[in-house]
Amino acid sequence: MKMNYKLLFAGSTLAIGVMALLAGSVNERETERIALNATPIISEKDKNKNESWERYYPRQYSSWKKTKEGSELRDMLKEKSQLPILWAGYGFAKDYNAPRGHYYALQDNVNTLRTGAPVDGKSGTMPTACWTCKSPDVPRIQERDGELEYFTGKWAKYGSEIVNSIGCANCHSNKTGQLTVRVPHLNRALVSAGLPTFEESTHQEKRNLVCAQCHTEYYFQKTPWTDKEGNKKIAKVVTLPWENGLTAEGAEKYYDERNFSDWTHKISKTPMLKTQHPGYELFKTGIHGQKGVSCADCHMPYTQEGAVKYSDHQLQNPLDTMDRSCMPCHRESETKLRGIVLQKYKRKDQLHELAMDNLAKAHLETAKAMEVGASDVELKAVRADIRSAQWKWDYAVASHPAFFHAPEETLRLLAVANETAMQARIKLVSILAQHGVINYMAPDFSTKEQAQALAGVPLSKLVEAKKQFKATLEKEWHKQAIKNGNLNISSRKGLDEAKTSYSK
């Protein structure tokens, strides 16, 4: 009897203890839930500075800050020496690195040789639109100056204004904390494609669309407008070519209908298109996209810290977080799944190399045909093939991990690109023969240096001018931004020393 009482007592003490623990954890969760749903008190003035959110959301902030750890810099022109040939006459032939952590997005834009070396707010070649997917200061200025004013003028115009890298205010409302998109170009594109706007979309789709503010194909649409003082201006407005659908062919048709080209190729004189990074569009064609998995499921996995669950804001390669990113849905071992991903990469890379080789040779053989007297009329069909082939190749690879996000579509596009480039080269064989050239061999482009020489890139001159810019105007920008209260100097930790392709 006594014994039983003791047992019962011990048992109930244990039960009470467990219940107290549970209640504690329920309380903690409830507190956390309230904190997460509470309206944060982040002022309009401070919301674009990521540090302003730290007090209220320490976990999201500190994981966001870890995007700094994704600092590896890969010079893609070195890894794939065909690229300077394919982009001859265009900024990407000068400098092009694989993407890295959001912490660096803005600094990498300032550092790249593509944005040049302005000496004041009016010089330089690139338009203001180049800042658009780099900073929460972009919507701040669009809201302050008007969208068309923001899209008017040279990149350097906003050097002292756009000073905080991609952060909280790009994806969250400072009033409600809810997901939001602040740049108007995304909703315009969704409407043009007949799709629901961000606000009309499901919660799961919003977890894609915040990324689609930036990870999409776009071009700068020339838009004439008149400001309040009656001055006539031309804006270059970021526009997503989605009217004919979110596909490579749909966008190609869109550009062809407008007779649009991004640049004229320096070697082959082809009117070219540059694909940007149709990451969202391609993802939607893959199995995860079609089954309703969202970017955030893999790239921002839920993380448990004690009783608190939150979204990991260290946007990075999900293969580094497979336990949280993949295993909630998959039963295979991590090793096996990783092996499958690597296999997909290798399959893509084989076709990728073939397509680039054929395209690069097609450009160089066209130049030879021009040299020996082939006319624009003779070369018209060749150039049409090159334009279309390079568009499809670029579409497949410009959003790098499409081999994983959408393997079948990536391989299809590369196969079509390769075939179309071959068609151009077959035509070139006969054009060259008609002008007395047989067995022409394109010059060697197997290193970045050789390829940039063929593409006429004056690298050392560009680097010198950039270093001058970084020692002068860039420093002025930061001083001005701190003075105006738009930048906390602490947020620039490690950025002055951030690696570049030209200063390693």
166 binds ligand HEC (CB under 6 A): yes
DSSP 337-374: HHHHHHHHHHHHHHHHHHHHHHHHHHHHHHHHHHHTT-
CA 33-34-40 angle, 5° bins: 115
Contact 182, 140 (CB under 8 A): no
CA separation, residue 313 to residues 59, 67, 288, 389, 458 (Å): 8, 8, 20, 37, 40
Contact 103, 135 (CB under 8 A): no
Out of 84, 241, 278, 407, the only residue in the binding site for ligand HEC (CB under 6 A) is 407
Helix axes 334-371, 407-434, angle to 10 degrees: 20
Of 116-124, 211-219, 365-373, 432-440, which part binds ligand HEC (CB under 6 A)?
211-219
Out of 188, 233, 253, 288, the only residue in the binding site for ligand HEC (CB under 6 A) is 288
Q: Which is nearer to ligand HEC, 137 or 365 (CB)?
A: 137
Report the C-alpha gap between 112 and 100 in whole angstroms: 13
User: Residues binding ligand HEC: what is the number (CB under 6 A)?
Assistant: 68
CA 375-378-380 angle, 5° bins: 105
Min separation Cβ 294 and ligand HEC, Å: 6
172 binds ligand HEC (CB under 6 A): yes
114 binds ligand HEC (CB under 6 A): no
Residues in contact with ligand HEC, shown as a per-residue x/- string from 18 to 47 under the rule CB under 6 A? ------------------x-----------
Under DSSP, the state recorded for 448 is: H
The position carrying tokens 């894609």 is 208
Q: Which is nearer to ligand HEC, 212 or 457 (CB)?
A: 212
70 binds ligand HEC (CB under 6 A): yes
Q: Which is nearer to ligand HEC, 295 or 389 (CB)?
A: 295
Min separation Cβ 503 and ligand HEC, Å: 15
Out of 48, 60, 164, 247, the only residue in the binding site for ligand HEC (CB under 6 A) is 60
Min separation Cβ 215 and ligand HEC, Å: 4
Contact 389, 359 (CB under 8 A): yes
299 binds ligand HEC (CB under 6 A): yes
Report the C-alpha gap between 109 and 124 in whole angstroms: 14
Contact 319, 338 (CB under 8 A): yes
Q: Which is nearer to ligand HEC, 12 or 333 (CB)?
A: 333
The residues pairing with 272 across neighbouring beta strands, listed in sequence order, are: 263
Q: Which is nearer to ligand HEC, 48 or 358 (CB)?
A: 48
Of 193-201, 221-229, 325-333, 432-440, which part binds ligand HEC (CB under 6 A)?
325-333
Helix axes 376-398, 334-371, angle to 10 degrees: 160
Report the C-alpha gap between 20 and 28 in whole angstroms: 12
102 binds ligand HEC (CB under 6 A): yes
128 binds ligand HEC (CB under 6 A): no
Per CB under 6 A, contacts with ligand HEC among 421-460 are: none
108 binds ligand HEC (CB under 6 A): yes
CA 45-50-56 angle, 5° bins: 90
Beta strands in 423-493 (DSSP E): none
133 binds ligand HEC (CB under 6 A): yes
Report the C-alpha gap between 24 and 441 in whole angstroms: 76
Report the C-alpha gap between 236 and 222 in whole angstroms: 5
Q: Which is nearer to ligand HEC, 139 or 270 (CB)?
A: 139
Nearest one of 97, 159, 94 to 128, comparing CA atoms = 159
Of 10-18, 293-301, 442-450, 468-476, which part binds ligand HEC (CB under 6 A)?
293-301
410 binds ligand HEC (CB under 6 A): no
Beta strands in 219-274 (DSSP E): 219-226, 232-239, 263-264, 271-272
Of 77-85, 156-164, 234-242, 319-327, which part binds ligand HEC (CB under 6 A)?
319-327
404 binds ligand HEC (CB under 6 A): yes
Contacting positions for ligand HEC (CB under 6 A): 36, 50, 53, 57, 60-61, 64, 70, 98-102, 104-105, 108, 133-134, 166-168, 170-172, 177, 179, 207-208, 210-211, 213-215, 279-280, 283, 287-288, 291, 293, 295-300, 310-311, 313, 315-319, 322, 325-326, 328-330, 337, 340-341, 400-401, 404-405, 407
